[in-house]
Amino acid sequence: MSYSNSSMGSGSRTARRTIEFGRTYVVKPKGKHQATIVWLHGLGDNGSSWAQLLENLPLPNIKWICPTAPTRPVGILGGFPCTAWFEVGELSEDGPDDFEGLDASAAHVANLLSTEPADIKLGIGGFSMGAAIALYSATCFAQGKYGNGYPYPVYLRAIIGLRGWLPCARSVRNKIEGSHEAARRAASLPILLSHGQCDEVVPHNYGERSYHALSLAGFRNIAFKTYEGIGHYTVPKEMDEVCNWLNPRLGL
C-alpha cells in the first residue's frame, strides 16, 4: 500500500479501495513562476470555482493548482454523495477521524506539488474542508510522514486555512513534541488561519481551538484573524490580506 504512487488522474490507491479524484484546474502565473500553491475547495464544491477567484488575485508569480475532491457519501449530510476530501460524520472533537481519507487527500496534494521545479516554493491553502486538509498536511509535513507512516515527500513554505478546522487535533501535540526534527519543522512553517465570527457551518470556536492546538504543538509562526459579521464565505478584504501575508513569506 503506497499513497506516494497516486497520480493526478487515477486517485490514490489504498488497500481497501481506489479513491478517484475529480478534475484538476491550473491557473498559470502571469509573471515569473516563483511559487506553487495547491488550493482546496470546501464540501460539495469543485476546483473550478476557486480557480476563477484565484486567477484574479494580484499575485502574478504564483501558480495555483485547484484539484477536485472525490465524490463519496458524506455522513454529516445523511449519506448524500458529494465532493469531499474525507468522510466526516459530525463536526466534533469527539468524533472519529477518517485517517484513510485524510492521508489519501494529503498524498494527492503532495503529489501535485512534487512535480514542481526544485527552486519553486510550495504551499497549500483551502476553504472549510479544504482548509482541514491544508492543516492536516501541515502536521504531516512537520512529522515527516502521513498518519499511516509513509514519508511526506515535499517541503512546505506556507499554509492557509479559511473557515476550517484541524483534524486529529487531540493527538498532534504528542506527535510533534516527540521529535526534535518535527518540532523544528513545526516552528518554521508559516500558517495563516481566518474565520468569520458568524460562521454558521464551521463555528468560529472551531477555528480558535485549531489555532490553540497548533500553537501548543509548536507551530509558532501562526496567525489567526477573525472577521466580524462574516459567515461561511470569503470577502475581498480577506483575500487582500491573504495576498499581503503571502508576499513576504514566499519572497515574491
Active site residue 199: yes
pLDDT for res 144: 96
What is the per-residue pLDDT for 151? Answer: 97
Query: Given pLDDT bands bounded at 50, 70 and 90, which one contains residue 21?
Result: very high
pLDDT of 156 > 70? The answer is yes
Contact call for residues 28 and 36 (beta carbons, < 8 A): no
- Can you give the pLDDT at residue 142? 97
174 and 143 in contact (C-beta within 8 Å)? Answer: no
Q: How many domains does the chain have?
A: 1
Q: How high is the pLDDT of residue 95?
A: 62
Look-up of cell digits 516554493: 121
Check if 128 is active-site. yes
94 in catalytic set = no
Q: pTM for this structure?
A: 0.91
The model's confidence at residue 178, banded by pLDDT at 50, 70 and 90, is confident
pLDDT number for residue 14: 38
| Residue 96 confidence (pLDDT) | 67
Catalytic residue among 6, 12, 105, 128: 128
Looking at 41, 199, 204, 210, which residue is catalytic?
A: 199
pLDDT digits (tens, 9 = 90+) for 184-221: 999 999 999 999 999 999 999 999 999 999 999 999 99
Spatial distance between the Cα atoms of 232 and 200, rounded to a whole number of angstroms:
6
Q: How far is C-alpha 60 from the geometric centre of its chain's CA atoms?
A: 21
| Average pLDDT value over all residues in the chain | 90
Enclosing domain of residue 108 = 3-250
pLDDT in tens, 91-104: 666 566 789 999 99
- For residue 91, the domain's CATH number is 3.40.50.1820
User: In the structure grid, which three cell numbers stand for residue 230, read together?
Assistant: 462574516
**Placement of cell 513576504 in the chain:** 248
The model's pLDDT over 132-152, given as tens digits with 9 standing for 90+, comes to 999 999 999 999 999 999 999
